[in-house]
Amino acid sequence: MLDQILSTLQSQAAPELMSKFGLNQQQTNGSIKAATDSVTEVIGGGDGFGMDDVLNLFSDAKNTGGADGILNNIGSVLQGKLTGQVGLNATQAGGVQAMLMPMLTSLLSKYVGGNAGNLQQLIGSFSGGKAGGIADMAQGMLGKLFK
């Protein structure tokens, strides 16, 4: 499922990244991977936010303060990856981040749709299907959310 989201983001974003920001294919692929890796890193860390905030972020509802905090954290991580790993300058990285974040959030929102089961499946895919880790954290948090 995460692969489907990545593939969709690639097809939607790649042409625009190349034409609007002058990125080559390697920078384009790296930028898209950095975006999904940033979401995985922040959501997978589970630090300082509740699953209700994650559900809110990936829904059609107006973001709560907690959801905005998660989004800002993802943006900061992405900015660092774009400059540090992909090799974009700060101006390019800012533009790429501003373009990719809404696209990625929209794709994830379409899949999750505020549904805890879909979110749990998404978070489980972050761990690559391995037992424990993120999936267990999500299950524990989701259990608390619905008590």
- Tokens 């979401």 locate to 39
Between 49 and 38, residue with greater pLDDT:
38
For the cut 70, the answer to whether the pLDDT of residue 113 exceeds it is yes
For the cut 90, the answer to whether the pLDDT of residue 59 exceeds it is no
CA distance 64 to 69: 9
What does the pLDDT read at residue 1?
Answer: 65
Q: Break the chain into its structural domains and give their ranges.
A: 2-145
For the cut 50, the answer to whether the pLDDT of residue 88 exceeds it is yes
| 25: phi then psi, degrees, rounded to nearest 5 | -60, -40
Indicate the pLDDT class of residue 143, thresholds 50, 70 and 90: very low
List, for residues 64-81, the tens digit of each pLDDT value: 999 999 999 999 999 999
Residues in the chain: 147
CA distance 129 to 119: 14
For the cut 80, the answer to whether the pLDDT of residue 110 exceeds it is yes
Entry pTM: 0.79
CA distance 104 to 42: 14
What does the pLDDT read at residue 147?
Answer: 39
DSSP classification of residue 46: -
How many angstroms separate the Cα of 2 from the Cα of each of 20, 48, 62, 85? 26, 24, 24, 21
